[in-house]
Amino acid sequence: MAKVKTAYFCQVCGYESAKWTGKCPSCGQWNTMVEELIQKDNKKAANDWEDYRENGSTKKTRHLNEVEMRDHSRLLTVDAELNRVLGGGIVPGSIVLVAGEPGIGKSTLFLQMGLQLKDAVVLYISGEESDEQIKMRADRLGIQSENFYLLTETSTNVIFQEIKKLKPQVIIVDSIQTLESSFIESSPGSVSQIRECAAEFQQFAKETSTPVFLIGHITKEGSIAGPKLLEHMVDTVLQFEGDRHYAYRILRTLKNRFGSTAELGIYQMNDNGMNPVVNPSEILITQKEEDLGGIAIAATIEGQRPLLIEVQALVTQSVYGTPQRTVSGFDTRRLQLLLAVLEKRGGFHFGVKDVFLNIAGGLKVEDPSIDLAVLAALLSSYEDTTIPHDVCFAGEVGLSGEIRAVNRIEQRIAEAEKLGFSKIIVSKYNQKGLSKKKFDIEIITMGRVDEMYRYLF
């Protein structure tokens, strides 16, 4: 009998070792090495895609100048949000990893996408659900398609045999953790199985110019299960975020070889599936009739899209010895920096106050242009005075208390004007190249934080 070969894999980074170690030499994590079977079948035959390949391409060494560029037009979906996040549509031959928490709506979104692709043959491979369960969900979505096919199978050998028969133009795999290859003897979901199955789909996608979507799971720590090696093998990584108790979902790009990694797609989940939100600024701002203290509106940019978001702050007297700093959707260290600027440059005693900060709508914002709105919300709550509801802010704050210029200021101003704001406060250093005559909104320019304080309060 052939000797069974095993190896130890780190469940965090995928590092492979011949023997067990308490600490992973690659990522430094403790007690993450797990033994897995890696006995491969020596008779493994290469997948033959000759009848599937475009122009019968073969693998051989070629000079760079000999490579002919073919026009690979992107496949556009009905979903404008997904097109934006992918960088302008589905690239032929790309392999896309989609990750998110259980129940967030990954399967619903891509079942809906597959049903809406009327002009392409779509194969939906499920290792988690039966045909009847997928049919029930499709009936609930209410979308009919003549070119949509199902395959409930976990063995990659059977899957590729069916692919050769059907020759689909788009493949959706739900999920990569349930698949198993006969060439690896470990159980489905293990590091070696995930790596082997993803490698087989990667080879298929590149050789046949067929786009493949791999739906993946999330670990308890919030990272993509199976672990970082899966992210390195694919072209694009999409993260589906949101709270299951709220209707809104955010599709974020973490890696994209064919477009920007700063794009964002927003969806609203209802009985008919995932509906793209065309104007997210309207849902991210609370519709209120009276002015409320501690609230300021910031004009930010996510990817190519301008957004207006609501910044909420609450400043209270500290009861305990050490004041609390509780933040949701914003960097805690950035908040501490802004509080230090107010202490040093403005003389406000936040050292004896509890500070709570929230970005409404569940967004996580890294754009420094919301600094000015954060300061305005903090001062509004500190003084217990409201900021007029028709004023918004766009500016970065430096350590000297100066208001710094931000990029793409005209897009921010245009978005504020579109939503009915009458004033926007920006840095005076943004005046270069800015034409105020183009806008009906009043543009107020300031250079320092104390100027803003005197103007508002």
What separation in angstroms does the CA of 53 have from each of 73, 164, 334?
17, 11, 52
Within a domain: 43? no
- Higher pLDDT, residue 311 or 60: 311
What total number of domains does the chain contain? 3
Say whether both 327 and 262 belong to one domain: no
In a domain, 160, yes or no: yes
383 belongs to an annotated ligand binding site: no
127 labeled part of a ligand binding site = no
What pLDDT is attached to residue 46?
Answer: 46
Any bridge partners for residue 316, and if so which? 354
Place of tokens 């064919």: 258
Look at residue 65 and tell me if it is in a domain: no
**Which among 214, 244, 278 is the end of a domain?**
278
Q: Are 108 and 196 found together in one domain?
A: yes
Give this prediction's pTM.
Answer: 0.77
Q: Name the band, by pLDDT with cuts 50, 70 and 90, for residue 43.
A: very low
Would you say residue 12 lies in a domain? yes
Q: In 3D, which of 33, 14, 12 has the Cα closest to residue 22?
A: 33
In a domain, 97, yes or no: yes
Please report the pLDDT score of residue 48 as a whole number. 56
Q: What is the pLDDT of residues 370-426, one digit of tens each?
A: 999 999 999 999 999 999 888 999 999 999 999 999 998 999 999 899 888 999 999
Calculate what percentage of the chain has a pLDDT beyond 90: 45
Residue 107, annotated as binding a ligand:
yes
Both 25 and 123 in one domain: the answer is no
pLDDT digits (tens, 9 = 90+) for 291-332: 778 999 999 988 778 889 999 999 999 887 788 999 998 999
- Last residue of a domain, which of 244, 278, 312? 278
Q: In this predicted structure, what is the pLDDT of residue 73?
A: 84
Last residue of a domain, one of 278, 308, 324: 278
Strands ordered across the beta sheet of 423-427:
325-328, 353-359, 305-317, 295-302, 391-394, 423-427, 442-446
Q: Within this chain, do residues 289 and 435 fall inside the same structural domain, yes or no?
A: yes
Annotated binding residue at 265?
A: no
Predicted confidence (pLDDT) per residue in 153-188, tens digit: 999 999 999 999 999 999 999 989 899 988 887 778
Q: What is the pLDDT of residue 375?
A: 95
Which amino acid does the sequence have at 120? A
Q: Is residue 439 part of a domain?
A: yes
Does residue 250 have a pLDDT over 80?
yes
Average pLDDT for residues 74-87, to the nearest whole number?
90
* Residue 103 marked ligand-binding: yes
Q: Cβ(429)–Cβ(405) under 8 Å? A: yes
Model pLDDT, residue 226: 57
How far is CA 24 from its chain centroid?
28
Whether residue 41 is predicted with pLDDT greater than 60 in this model: the reply is no
Q: For 100-153, what is each residue's pLDDT tens digit?
A: 888 888 899 999 999 999 889 999 999 989 999 999 999 999 898 899 999 999
Q: Is 438 annotated as a binding residue?
A: no
Question: Which domain CATH number covers 308?
Answer: 3.30.230.10
Please state, for a pLDDT cut of 70, what percent of the chain lies above it: 90
Partner residues linked to 170 by β-bridges: 122
Residues 297 and 333 in one domain: yes
Q: What is the pLDDT of residue 68?
A: 80
Query: Do 295 and 170 fall within a single domain?
Result: no
Judgement on whether residues 187 and 221 belong to the same structural domain of the protein: yes
Compute the Cα dihedral for 222, 99, 268, 258 and give only its sign: positive
Query: Does residue 290 share a domain with residue 334?
Result: yes
Place 96 in a pLDDT band, splitting at 50, 70 and 90.
very high
The predicted structure's pLDDT at residue 225: 56
Whether residue 165 is contained in a domain is answered as: yes
Residue 91 and residue 148 in one domain: yes
Handedness of CA 257, 258, 259, 265 (dihedral sign): negative
* Residue 171's CATH number: 3.40.50.300
pLDDT of residue 287: 65
Is the residue at 137 inside a domain? yes
What's the whole-number average pLDDT of the chain? 86
More confident residue, 207 or 433: 207
Answer yes or no: do 228 and 304 share one domain: no
249 and 205 both lie in a single domain: yes
- One domain, residues 264 and 297: no
Domain of residue 15 covers 6-37
